[in-house]
Structure 1
Amino acid sequence: MRYAVYYAPSPRSDFWRAGSSWLGWDAAAGMQVLPPDLPGGLLAGLAPLTRTGARYGWHATLKAPFRLVAGVDEAALLAAVSALAQRFTPLEVSLQVGTLAGFPALRPAGDASVLQELAQACVVALAPLAAADTRPHHGLDARAAALAARWGYPHVFERYRFHLTLADAVAEPVLAAAIAQAARRHFDGLLTQQLTALAVFVQPHADEPFRYLAECGFDGEVRHHARR
Protein backbone atom coordinates (compact mmCIF):
# COMPACT_ATOMS: atom_id res chain seq x y z
CA MET A 1 0.00 0.00 0.00
CA ARG A 2 1.31 3.44 -0.92
CA TYR A 3 0.21 6.93 0.02
CA ALA A 4 0.87 10.33 -1.52
CA VAL A 5 0.24 13.91 -0.45
CA TYR A 6 -1.08 16.11 -3.21
CA TYR A 7 -2.79 19.31 -4.04
CA ALA A 8 -6.15 18.17 -5.35
CA PRO A 9 -9.37 20.16 -5.58
CA SER A 10 -12.40 19.09 -3.61
CA PRO A 11 -14.29 16.23 -5.29
CA ARG A 12 -17.36 18.48 -5.10
CA SER A 13 -15.73 21.16 -7.27
CA ASP A 14 -16.01 21.90 -10.98
CA PHE A 15 -12.22 21.81 -11.22
CA TRP A 16 -12.14 18.25 -9.87
CA ARG A 17 -14.83 17.15 -12.29
CA ALA A 18 -13.07 18.81 -15.22
CA GLY A 19 -9.72 17.25 -14.37
CA SER A 20 -11.17 13.82 -13.74
CA SER A 21 -13.06 14.00 -17.03
CA TRP A 22 -9.88 14.97 -18.86
CA LEU A 23 -8.05 11.95 -17.41
CA GLY A 24 -11.06 9.60 -17.62
CA TRP A 25 -10.80 8.57 -13.95
CA ASP A 26 -12.43 9.93 -10.81
CA ALA A 27 -10.13 8.97 -7.92
CA ALA A 28 -12.71 9.96 -5.29
CA ALA A 29 -15.58 7.96 -6.74
CA GLY A 30 -13.26 5.15 -7.85
CA MET A 31 -14.72 4.94 -11.33
CA GLN A 32 -14.03 5.78 -14.94
CA VAL A 33 -15.80 8.90 -16.19
CA LEU A 34 -16.77 10.16 -19.61
CA PRO A 35 -13.98 11.96 -21.46
CA PRO A 36 -14.35 15.57 -22.58
CA ASP A 37 -15.95 16.49 -25.89
CA LEU A 38 -12.91 17.17 -28.06
CA PRO A 39 -12.82 18.28 -31.71
CA GLY A 40 -12.08 15.97 -34.60
CA GLY A 41 -10.06 12.88 -33.78
CA LEU A 42 -8.19 14.45 -30.87
CA LEU A 43 -9.75 12.17 -28.25
CA ALA A 44 -8.31 9.09 -29.99
CA GLY A 45 -4.86 10.68 -29.86
CA LEU A 46 -5.20 11.95 -26.30
CA ALA A 47 -6.70 8.90 -24.58
CA PRO A 48 -3.53 6.75 -24.68
CA LEU A 49 -1.57 9.71 -23.28
CA THR A 50 -3.72 10.15 -20.16
CA ARG A 51 -3.57 6.58 -18.88
CA THR A 52 -0.54 7.17 -16.67
CA GLY A 53 -2.01 10.37 -15.25
CA ALA A 54 -5.32 8.66 -14.63
CA ARG A 55 -3.56 6.04 -12.51
CA TYR A 56 -2.51 8.75 -10.06
CA GLY A 57 -5.66 10.87 -10.19
CA TRP A 58 -6.14 14.59 -10.84
CA HIS A 59 -3.48 16.25 -8.71
CA ALA A 60 -0.25 18.15 -8.27
CA THR A 61 2.34 16.22 -6.26
CA LEU A 62 3.55 17.65 -2.96
CA LYS A 63 5.04 14.44 -1.54
CA ALA A 64 5.51 11.63 -4.03
CA PRO A 65 4.07 8.15 -3.35
CA PHE A 66 5.59 6.31 -0.40
CA ARG A 67 5.02 3.37 1.92
CA LEU A 68 4.63 3.84 5.64
CA VAL A 69 7.34 2.76 8.06
CA ALA A 70 6.57 -0.10 10.40
CA GLY A 71 4.44 0.99 13.32
CA VAL A 72 2.77 3.88 11.50
CA ASP A 73 -0.78 3.33 10.28
CA GLU A 74 -3.18 5.32 8.13
CA ALA A 75 -4.74 7.11 11.08
CA ALA A 76 -1.32 8.31 12.23
CA LEU A 77 -0.52 9.52 8.72
CA LEU A 78 -3.75 11.50 8.49
CA ALA A 79 -3.11 13.01 11.91
CA ALA A 80 0.38 14.08 10.83
CA VAL A 81 -0.84 15.56 7.54
CA SER A 82 -3.65 17.38 9.35
CA ALA A 83 -1.19 18.87 11.84
CA LEU A 84 1.05 19.95 8.97
CA ALA A 85 -1.86 21.46 7.03
CA GLN A 86 -2.80 23.66 9.96
CA ARG A 87 0.54 25.43 9.66
CA PHE A 88 -0.65 27.03 6.40
CA THR A 89 -3.27 29.52 5.34
CA PRO A 90 -5.35 29.38 2.13
CA LEU A 91 -3.65 30.68 -0.96
CA GLU A 92 -4.80 31.50 -4.45
CA VAL A 93 -3.17 29.57 -7.28
CA SER A 94 -3.36 30.89 -10.83
CA LEU A 95 -2.65 28.25 -13.46
CA GLN A 96 -1.96 28.21 -17.17
CA VAL A 97 -1.64 25.53 -19.82
CA GLY A 98 2.02 24.79 -20.47
CA THR A 99 4.56 21.99 -20.56
CA LEU A 100 7.08 20.42 -18.22
CA ALA A 101 9.86 18.37 -19.81
CA GLY A 102 7.62 17.79 -22.81
CA PHE A 103 4.58 16.83 -20.74
CA PRO A 104 1.45 18.96 -21.25
CA ALA A 105 0.52 20.30 -17.81
CA LEU A 106 -1.18 23.06 -15.89
CA ARG A 107 1.57 25.22 -14.39
CA PRO A 108 1.58 28.23 -12.05
CA ALA A 109 1.04 31.45 -13.96
CA GLY A 110 2.97 33.59 -11.45
CA ASP A 111 5.25 33.33 -8.46
CA ALA A 112 5.38 29.72 -7.24
CA SER A 113 7.58 30.27 -4.18
CA VAL A 114 4.79 29.56 -1.67
CA LEU A 115 4.00 26.33 -3.49
CA GLN A 116 7.69 25.43 -3.32
CA GLU A 117 7.63 26.03 0.44
CA LEU A 118 4.50 23.92 0.86
CA ALA A 119 6.00 21.00 -1.05
CA GLN A 120 9.27 21.26 0.88
CA ALA A 121 7.39 21.23 4.18
CA CYS A 122 5.51 18.08 3.13
CA VAL A 123 8.72 16.30 2.13
CA VAL A 124 10.59 17.18 5.35
CA ALA A 125 7.75 16.86 7.87
CA LEU A 126 6.50 13.51 6.58
CA ALA A 127 9.91 11.92 5.97
CA PRO A 128 9.92 10.12 9.37
CA LEU A 129 6.68 8.34 8.37
CA ALA A 130 7.93 7.18 4.97
CA ALA A 131 9.80 3.93 4.47
CA ALA A 132 13.06 4.11 2.53
CA ASP A 133 12.57 3.83 -1.22
CA THR A 134 15.13 1.37 -2.56
CA ARG A 135 13.92 1.40 -6.16
CA PRO A 136 16.67 2.33 -8.66
CA HIS A 137 16.45 5.72 -10.35
CA HIS A 138 18.13 5.78 -13.75
CA GLY A 139 19.39 8.66 -15.85
CA LEU A 140 19.78 11.16 -13.00
CA ASP A 141 22.48 13.76 -12.62
CA ALA A 142 24.52 13.84 -9.42
CA ARG A 143 22.22 16.24 -7.56
CA ALA A 144 19.02 14.41 -8.53
CA ALA A 145 20.59 11.09 -7.53
CA ALA A 146 21.54 12.54 -4.14
CA LEU A 147 18.00 13.85 -3.59
CA ALA A 148 16.53 10.48 -4.54
CA ALA A 149 18.88 8.68 -2.18
CA ARG A 150 18.10 11.00 0.74
CA TRP A 151 14.41 11.74 0.20
CA GLY A 152 13.21 8.88 -2.03
CA TYR A 153 12.40 11.12 -4.99
CA PRO A 154 14.59 13.31 -7.22
CA HIS A 155 12.11 16.12 -7.91
CA VAL A 156 12.18 17.84 -4.52
CA PHE A 157 13.46 21.16 -3.11
CA GLU A 158 15.04 23.22 -5.91
CA ARG A 159 14.15 20.49 -8.43
CA TYR A 160 10.46 20.65 -7.56
CA ARG A 161 8.00 22.06 -10.13
CA PHE A 162 4.31 22.37 -9.20
CA HIS A 163 2.13 21.00 -12.00
CA LEU A 164 -1.02 19.04 -12.79
CA THR A 165 -0.17 16.59 -15.55
CA LEU A 166 -2.46 16.60 -18.57
CA ALA A 167 -0.80 13.86 -20.63
CA ASP A 168 2.37 11.91 -21.26
CA ALA A 169 5.14 13.65 -23.18
CA VAL A 170 4.09 14.61 -26.70
CA ALA A 171 6.73 14.64 -29.43
CA GLU A 172 4.53 15.74 -32.35
CA PRO A 173 4.19 19.55 -32.40
CA VAL A 174 0.79 19.46 -34.12
CA LEU A 175 -0.68 17.11 -31.51
CA ALA A 176 0.92 19.08 -28.67
CA ALA A 177 -0.64 22.31 -29.96
CA ALA A 178 -4.04 20.64 -30.35
CA ILE A 179 -3.90 19.28 -26.79
CA ALA A 180 -2.95 22.69 -25.42
CA GLN A 181 -5.80 24.39 -27.28
CA ALA A 182 -8.29 21.76 -26.12
CA ALA A 183 -7.07 22.07 -22.52
CA ARG A 184 -7.52 25.85 -22.54
CA ARG A 185 -11.09 25.39 -23.67
CA HIS A 186 -11.82 22.49 -21.30
CA PHE A 187 -10.49 24.32 -18.22
CA ASP A 188 -11.75 27.76 -19.21
CA GLY A 189 -12.84 29.69 -16.12
CA LEU A 190 -11.24 27.15 -13.76
CA LEU A 191 -7.59 28.17 -13.79
CA THR A 192 -7.70 30.29 -10.64
CA GLN A 193 -8.16 28.10 -7.58
CA GLN A 194 -7.99 28.36 -3.79
CA LEU A 195 -5.60 25.88 -2.18
CA THR A 196 -7.10 25.19 1.24
CA ALA A 197 -6.08 21.63 2.07
CA LEU A 198 -3.54 18.87 1.67
CA ALA A 199 -4.98 15.86 -0.11
CA VAL A 200 -3.99 12.33 0.89
CA PHE A 201 -4.30 9.65 -1.80
CA VAL A 202 -3.86 5.92 -1.35
CA GLN A 203 -2.96 3.07 -3.68
CA PRO A 204 -4.34 -0.09 -2.01
CA HIS A 205 -2.42 -2.49 -4.29
CA ALA A 206 0.34 -2.06 -6.85
CA ASP A 207 -1.94 -2.97 -9.76
CA GLU A 208 -4.67 -0.49 -8.74
CA PRO A 209 -5.01 3.26 -9.35
CA PHE A 210 -4.73 5.77 -6.54
CA ARG A 211 -7.84 6.82 -4.64
CA TYR A 212 -8.63 10.17 -3.05
CA LEU A 213 -8.59 9.22 0.63
CA ALA A 214 -9.03 12.52 2.46
CA GLU A 215 -8.63 16.30 2.48
CA CYS A 216 -6.75 17.65 5.48
CA GLY A 217 -7.91 21.24 5.60
CA PHE A 218 -5.83 24.20 6.68
CA ASP A 219 -8.76 24.82 9.04
CA GLY A 220 -8.11 21.52 10.87
CA GLU A 221 -11.03 19.59 9.36
CA VAL A 222 -10.35 16.18 7.83
CA ARG A 223 -12.85 15.24 5.13
CA HIS A 224 -12.82 11.60 4.02
CA HIS A 225 -13.72 10.67 0.45
CA ALA A 226 -12.75 7.30 -1.02
CA ARG A 227 -14.73 4.24 -0.01
CA ARG A 228 -12.66 1.06 0.06
Structure 2
Amino acid sequence: MSNFPRYAIYYLPAAGSALAQFGAAILGYDVVSGAEVPFAAQTAAIADWQDITADPRGYGFHATLKAPFALADGRRESDLLWACATFAETPRAIPQIAPVIRPIGGFIALVPETPSESLQQLAADCVRDFDEFRAPLSAEDRARRKPERLTPEQVGYLDRWGYPYVMDEFRFHMTLTGSLAPARHAELLAVLRERFAATGIDRVAIDRIAVLRQDGRGARFRSIAQFELRSTDY
Protein backbone atom coordinates (compact mmCIF):
# COMPACT_ATOMS: atom_id res chain seq x y z
CA MET A 1 0.00 0.00 0.00
CA SER A 2 1.23 3.48 -0.82
CA ASN A 3 2.83 5.54 1.91
CA PHE A 4 1.36 8.95 2.55
CA PRO A 5 1.58 11.76 2.03
CA ARG A 6 2.16 11.43 -1.70
CA TYR A 7 3.49 14.23 -3.88
CA ALA A 8 3.24 15.03 -7.58
CA ILE A 9 4.79 17.57 -9.95
CA TYR A 10 2.09 19.00 -12.18
CA TYR A 11 1.48 21.87 -14.50
CA LEU A 12 -1.29 24.02 -13.06
CA PRO A 13 -2.56 27.17 -14.75
CA ALA A 14 -1.90 30.33 -12.76
CA ALA A 15 -4.37 30.76 -9.90
CA GLY A 16 -7.28 32.97 -10.92
CA SER A 17 -6.49 32.72 -14.63
CA ALA A 18 -9.21 32.04 -17.17
CA LEU A 19 -7.85 28.54 -17.72
CA ALA A 20 -7.78 27.76 -13.99
CA GLN A 21 -11.33 29.01 -13.59
CA PHE A 22 -12.47 26.94 -16.58
CA GLY A 23 -10.98 23.73 -15.19
CA ALA A 24 -12.23 24.30 -11.65
CA ALA A 25 -15.78 24.91 -12.88
CA ILE A 26 -15.69 21.77 -15.03
CA LEU A 27 -14.42 19.52 -12.22
CA GLY A 28 -16.13 21.27 -9.31
CA TYR A 29 -12.88 21.66 -7.37
CA ASP A 30 -10.19 24.34 -7.04
CA VAL A 31 -6.92 22.48 -6.52
CA VAL A 32 -5.17 25.62 -5.22
CA SER A 33 -7.66 26.71 -2.59
CA GLY A 34 -8.99 23.23 -1.89
CA ALA A 35 -12.55 24.58 -2.20
CA GLU A 36 -15.59 23.10 -3.88
CA VAL A 37 -16.60 25.11 -6.96
CA PRO A 38 -20.07 25.22 -8.56
CA PHE A 39 -20.17 23.41 -11.88
CA ALA A 40 -20.37 25.52 -15.03
CA ALA A 41 -23.96 25.96 -16.15
CA GLN A 42 -23.50 23.90 -19.31
CA THR A 43 -22.23 20.87 -17.40
CA ALA A 44 -24.42 21.30 -14.32
CA ALA A 45 -27.38 20.59 -16.62
CA ILE A 46 -25.99 17.09 -17.32
CA ALA A 47 -27.63 14.79 -14.79
CA ASP A 48 -24.61 12.57 -14.10
CA TRP A 49 -21.86 15.22 -14.37
CA GLN A 50 -20.92 14.72 -10.70
CA ASP A 51 -20.18 11.07 -11.45
CA ILE A 52 -18.54 11.76 -14.82
CA THR A 53 -15.95 14.01 -13.17
CA ALA A 54 -15.47 12.05 -9.93
CA ASP A 55 -12.05 10.60 -10.84
CA PRO A 56 -10.35 13.75 -12.21
CA ARG A 57 -11.83 15.85 -9.39
CA GLY A 58 -9.57 14.09 -6.92
CA TYR A 59 -6.48 15.34 -8.73
CA GLY A 60 -7.68 18.80 -9.72
CA PHE A 61 -7.33 20.39 -13.14
CA HIS A 62 -3.74 19.67 -14.07
CA ALA A 63 -1.27 18.05 -16.43
CA THR A 64 1.04 15.43 -14.98
CA LEU A 65 4.79 16.06 -15.30
CA LYS A 66 5.96 13.71 -12.52
CA ALA A 67 3.33 11.20 -11.44
CA PRO A 68 2.37 10.83 -7.75
CA PHE A 69 4.99 9.29 -5.49
CA ALA A 70 5.80 8.79 -1.84
CA LEU A 71 9.02 10.39 -0.63
CA ALA A 72 12.15 8.26 -0.54
CA ASP A 73 13.72 7.50 2.82
CA GLY A 74 15.61 10.49 4.15
CA ARG A 75 13.83 12.99 1.91
CA ARG A 76 11.61 15.72 3.28
CA GLU A 77 8.92 17.92 1.77
CA SER A 78 11.18 20.94 2.21
CA ASP A 79 13.90 19.18 0.16
CA LEU A 80 11.45 18.63 -2.69
CA LEU A 81 10.30 22.25 -2.63
CA TRP A 82 13.89 23.48 -2.68
CA ALA A 83 14.65 21.23 -5.66
CA CYS A 84 11.60 22.55 -7.53
CA ALA A 85 12.66 26.14 -6.91
CA THR A 86 16.14 25.33 -8.24
CA PHE A 87 14.69 23.53 -11.26
CA ALA A 88 12.49 26.53 -12.07
CA GLU A 89 15.47 28.89 -12.02
CA THR A 90 17.23 26.99 -14.82
CA PRO A 91 16.56 28.93 -18.06
CA ARG A 92 14.61 26.94 -20.63
CA ALA A 93 12.37 27.36 -23.64
CA ILE A 94 8.84 27.88 -22.32
CA PRO A 95 6.43 25.61 -24.21
CA GLN A 96 3.50 27.30 -25.91
CA ILE A 97 0.53 25.23 -27.00
CA ALA A 98 -2.69 25.81 -28.90
CA PRO A 99 -5.19 24.00 -26.64
CA VAL A 100 -7.98 21.86 -28.02
CA ILE A 101 -10.45 19.47 -26.42
CA ARG A 102 -10.32 15.90 -27.70
CA PRO A 103 -10.95 12.33 -26.60
CA ILE A 104 -7.82 10.62 -25.32
CA GLY A 105 -8.31 6.97 -24.58
CA GLY A 106 -11.71 6.65 -22.96
CA PHE A 107 -11.87 10.15 -21.51
CA ILE A 108 -11.92 13.77 -22.69
CA ALA A 109 -9.08 16.19 -22.06
CA LEU A 110 -7.54 19.49 -23.05
CA VAL A 111 -4.49 18.68 -25.17
CA PRO A 112 -2.06 20.50 -27.49
CA GLU A 113 -3.30 20.77 -31.06
CA THR A 114 0.15 19.73 -32.29
CA PRO A 115 3.14 18.09 -30.56
CA SER A 116 5.68 20.32 -28.82
CA GLU A 117 9.33 19.31 -28.50
CA SER A 118 9.93 21.79 -25.69
CA LEU A 119 6.97 20.38 -23.77
CA GLN A 120 8.22 16.81 -24.19
CA GLN A 121 11.62 17.98 -22.93
CA LEU A 122 10.13 19.71 -19.89
CA ALA A 123 8.23 16.58 -18.93
CA ALA A 124 11.30 14.37 -19.40
CA ASP A 125 13.40 16.74 -17.30
CA CYS A 126 10.83 16.58 -14.49
CA VAL A 127 10.76 12.79 -14.59
CA ARG A 128 14.57 12.57 -14.37
CA ASP A 129 15.40 15.46 -12.08
CA PHE A 130 12.89 14.65 -9.34
CA ASP A 131 13.28 10.89 -9.37
CA GLU A 132 15.72 10.94 -6.47
CA PHE A 133 12.80 12.00 -4.27
CA ARG A 134 10.61 9.03 -5.27
CA ALA A 135 10.32 5.99 -3.04
CA PRO A 136 10.42 2.71 -5.01
CA LEU A 137 7.05 1.34 -6.09
CA SER A 138 5.60 -1.25 -3.76
CA ALA A 139 4.45 -4.52 -5.31
CA GLU A 140 0.86 -3.42 -4.71
CA ASP A 141 1.36 -0.06 -6.43
CA ARG A 142 3.08 -1.74 -9.36
CA ALA A 143 0.19 -4.20 -9.71
CA ARG A 144 -2.27 -1.30 -9.62
CA ARG A 145 -0.75 -0.07 -12.90
CA LYS A 146 -1.80 -3.37 -14.53
CA PRO A 147 1.56 -4.12 -16.18
CA GLU A 148 -0.02 -7.05 -18.02
CA ARG A 149 -1.89 -4.49 -20.15
CA LEU A 150 1.18 -2.37 -20.92
CA THR A 151 3.66 -2.62 -23.76
CA PRO A 152 7.15 -3.91 -22.93
CA GLU A 153 8.49 -0.36 -23.23
CA GLN A 154 5.84 0.95 -20.83
CA VAL A 155 6.66 -1.80 -18.33
CA GLY A 156 10.31 -0.76 -18.57
CA TYR A 157 9.37 2.84 -17.81
CA LEU A 158 7.15 1.73 -14.93
CA ASP A 159 10.03 -0.18 -13.34
CA ARG A 160 12.61 2.56 -14.00
CA TRP A 161 10.60 5.70 -13.32
CA GLY A 162 7.55 4.51 -11.38
CA TYR A 163 5.09 5.42 -14.15
CA PRO A 164 4.58 3.93 -17.63
CA TYR A 165 3.62 7.05 -19.59
CA VAL A 166 6.89 8.99 -19.63
CA MET A 167 9.54 9.98 -22.17
CA ASP A 168 8.31 9.03 -25.66
CA GLU A 169 5.09 7.66 -24.11
CA PHE A 170 4.26 11.04 -22.54
CA ARG A 171 1.17 12.84 -23.83
CA PHE A 172 0.38 16.19 -22.26
CA HIS A 173 -3.27 16.31 -21.23
CA MET A 174 -5.51 18.07 -18.72
CA THR A 175 -8.30 15.65 -17.92
CA LEU A 176 -11.90 16.86 -17.97
CA THR A 177 -13.87 13.61 -17.53
CA GLY A 178 -13.51 10.10 -16.28
CA SER A 179 -13.75 7.12 -18.60
CA LEU A 180 -16.81 7.36 -20.82
CA ALA A 181 -18.89 5.03 -22.90
CA PRO A 182 -18.15 5.81 -26.59
CA ALA A 183 -21.80 6.79 -27.08
CA ARG A 184 -21.32 9.76 -24.71
CA HIS A 185 -18.31 11.28 -26.47
CA ALA A 186 -20.07 13.35 -29.11
CA GLU A 187 -22.54 14.89 -26.66
CA LEU A 188 -19.97 15.79 -24.04
CA LEU A 189 -17.35 16.97 -26.51
CA ALA A 190 -19.86 19.47 -27.89
CA VAL A 191 -20.66 20.81 -24.41
CA LEU A 192 -17.03 21.08 -23.31
CA ARG A 193 -15.85 22.66 -26.55
CA GLU A 194 -18.60 25.27 -26.36
CA ARG A 195 -17.69 26.08 -22.76
CA PHE A 196 -13.99 26.32 -23.59
CA ALA A 197 -14.61 28.50 -26.66
CA ALA A 198 -16.36 31.00 -24.39
CA THR A 199 -13.07 31.56 -22.50
CA GLY A 200 -11.38 32.98 -25.62
CA ILE A 201 -8.18 31.08 -24.80
CA ASP A 202 -6.17 30.23 -27.91
CA ARG A 203 -2.63 29.90 -26.52
CA VAL A 204 -1.34 28.52 -23.24
CA ALA A 205 2.19 28.91 -21.93
CA ILE A 206 3.36 25.94 -19.87
CA ASP A 207 5.31 28.35 -17.72
CA ARG A 208 5.22 26.89 -14.22
CA ILE A 209 5.42 23.72 -12.19
CA ALA A 210 3.47 22.97 -9.05
CA VAL A 211 3.96 20.61 -6.14
CA LEU A 212 0.80 18.88 -4.96
CA ARG A 213 0.27 16.75 -1.89
CA GLN A 214 -2.23 14.01 -1.12
CA ASP A 215 -2.52 13.33 2.60
CA GLY A 216 -4.23 9.94 2.50
CA ARG A 217 -5.90 7.38 0.27
CA GLY A 218 -9.06 8.93 -1.15
CA ALA A 219 -8.01 12.45 -0.18
CA ARG A 220 -7.89 15.06 -2.92
CA PHE A 221 -4.59 16.44 -4.13
CA ARG A 222 -3.97 20.07 -3.29
CA SER A 223 -1.32 22.49 -4.51
CA ILE A 224 1.22 23.44 -1.84
CA ALA A 225 3.61 25.49 -4.02
CA GLN A 226 4.01 26.84 -7.54
CA PHE A 227 7.20 27.91 -9.27
CA GLU A 228 7.31 30.03 -12.40
CA LEU A 229 9.84 28.77 -14.95
CA ARG A 230 12.66 31.06 -16.05
CA SER A 231 12.64 31.63 -19.79
CA THR A 232 15.73 31.72 -21.98
CA ASP A 233 14.19 34.89 -23.49
CA TYR A 234 14.95 36.89 -20.33
What is the Cα deviation at residue 176 of structure 1? Answer: 1.1
Equivalent position of 1:217 in the other structure: 228
Show the counterpart of 2:31. Answer: 27
Does the Cα contact within 8 Å between 1:78 and 1:216 map onto a contact in 2? no
Give aligned-pair identity as a percent.
31
1:131 aligns with 2:142: no
SS at match of 1:96: strand
Residues 1:160 and 2:163 are matched in the alignment: no
- Contact 1:99–1:107 under 8 Å retained in 2: no
Distance 1:100 1:151 in 2: 23
Structure 1 residue 112: deviation in Å? 2.1
Question: What secondary structure is seen at the aligned counterpart in 2 of 1:34?
Answer: coil
Q: How many aligned positions are there?
A: 218
Per mean C-alpha deviation after superposition, the further-off stretch among 82-91 and 132-141 is 82-91
Counterpart for residue 59 of structure 1: 62
Structure 1: state its 5+ residue gaps. Answer: 221-228
Q: Which amino acid aligns with 2:57?
A: A
Equivalent AA in structure 2 for residue 204 of structure 1: D
Partner of 1:8: 12
Alpha-carbon distance between aligned partners in 1 of 2:19 and 2:6, rounded to the nearest angstrom: 25
Residue aligning to 1:194 = 205
Query: Which residue is 1:101 aligned to?
Result: 105
Secondary structure of 2:21 counterpart: helix
Q: Secondary structure of the equivalent of 2:223?
A: strand
Alignment of 1:144 onto 2:154: yes
- 1:69 Cα shift? 0.9
Q: Are the equivalent residues in 1 in contact too, given 2:94–2:206 (CA < 8 A)? A: yes
Does the Cα contact within 8 Å between 2:93 and 2:118 map onto a contact in 1?
A: no
Pick which of 89-98 and 54-63 moved more.
89-98
Of Structure 1 and Structure 2, the greater strand share is in 1
Contact 2:8/2:212, CA 8 A, preserved across alignment: yes
Higher mean alpha-carbon deviation, 94-103 vs 79-88, is at 79-88
- The alpha carbon displacement at 1:75 in A equals 1.3
Which structure 2 residue ranges, 5 or more long, are not aligned? none
Query: TM-score w.r.t. structure 2 length?
Result: 0.88
Alpha-carbon contact 1:3-1:65 (below 8 Å) kept: yes
What letter matches 2:126 in structure 1? Answer: C
Write the letter of the residue equivalent to 1:103: F
SS for the counterpart of 1:64 is strand
Task: Write the distance in 1 (CA, Å) between the matches of 2:207 and 2:75.
Answer: 26
1:13 CA drift (Å): 0.9
Query: Please, which of 113, 123, 136 is the counterpart of residue 117 of structure 2?
Result: 113
